[in-house]
Structure 1
Amino acid sequence: MTDRLYSDPDLVQFYDIENIGGDDFNYCVGFAEDARSVLDLGCGTGQLAAALSHGRSVTGVDPASPMLDVGRSRPGGDKVDWIEGDARTVRLGRRFDLVLLTGHAFQVFLTPEDQSAVLRTIAEHLAPDGLFIFDSRNPVANEWQEWTPRRSERIVMHPSLGAVKSWNDFECDAVTGIVTYSTFYEIPGGDKILGAESKIAFPAKEDLARMLNEAGLLVEQWLGNWHGESYVDSAPEIIPIGRLR
Structure 2
Amino acid sequence: MTADQLYHDPELAQFYDAENEWTDGLEYCRRLAAPCASVLDLGCGTGLFAATLAQEGHCTVAGADPAAAMLDIARVRSGGHLVRWLPADARTLRLDERFDLIVLTGHAFQVFLTRDDQAAVLRTIASHLRPGERFIFDSRNPLVEEWKEWTPEQSQRTLAHPQLGAIEAWNDVSRDAASGVVSYDSYYRVKASGRLYSARSPIAFPAQGQLAELLQEAGLRATSWLGGWDERPCTADAPEIIVMGTLRT
- Name the CA distance, whole Å, in 1 between partners of 2:189 and 2:44: 27
Instruction: Quote the residue 2:121 is aligned against.
Output: 118
Pick aligned residue for 1:240 from 218, 223, 243: 243
Instruction: Tell me which of 190, 195, 200 is aligned to 1:192.
Output: 195
Residues 171-192 of structure 1: CA distance to partner in whole angstroms, max 9, x if unpaired? 0011110000000011224442
Instruction: Please list, as runs of the form range in 1=range in 2, the aligned pairs for 1:65-144 lying within 5 A after superposition.
Output: 65-144=68-147
Partner of 2:207: 204
Instruction: Look up the equivalent residue of 1:210 and give its one-letter code.
Output: E
Q: Of 178, 183, 186, which aligns to 1:183?
A: 186
1:153 aligns with 2:156: yes
C-alpha root-mean-square deviation of aligned residues, in Å?
0.9
Structure-1 residue corresponding to 2:36: 35
Indicate whether 1:17 and 2:10 are aligned: no
Distance 1:71 1:104 in 2: 18
Within-5 A mapping of 1:40-55: 40-53=41-54, 54-55=57-58
The 1-side partners of 2:191 and 2:114 are apart by 38
- Secondary structure of the residue that 1:202 maps to in structure 2? coil
The structural deviation recorded for 1:31 is 1.3
- The reply on whether 1:58 has 2:78 as its aligned counterpart is no
**Which structure 1 residue ranges, 5 or more long, are not aligned?**
none
Residue 41 of structure 1, CA deviation? 0.4
CA distance in 2, matches of 1:55, 1:61: 20
Residue aligned with 1:106, SS: helix
Superposition TM-score, scaled by structure 2 size = 0.96
Deviation of the 1:20 alpha carbon: 0.5
2:235 counterpart SS class: coil
* Paired positions, count: 245
1:197 and 1:3 map into 2 onto residues whose CA distance is 8
Q: How many Å apart are 1:160 and its aligned residue? A: 2.1
Q: Deviations over 1:183-229 (max 9, x none)?
A: 00112244421000000000000000000011000111101001122
AA partner of residue 212 (structure 1): L
CA drift at 1:22: 1.0
* SS at 1:51 equivalent: helix
In 1, the alpha carbon distance for the partners of 2:237 and 2:164 equals 40
SS at match of 1:212: helix
Per mean C-alpha deviation after superposition, the further-off stretch among 26-35 and 185-194 is 185-194
Aligned to 1:218: 221
Which residue identity lines up with residue 242 of structure 2 in the other structure? Answer: I
> Shift in Å at residue 55 of structure 1?
1.9
1:157 Cα deviation from its structure 2 partner = 1.3
Listed as ranges, the gaps of 5+ residues in structure 2 are none
TM-score w.r.t. length of structure 1:
0.98
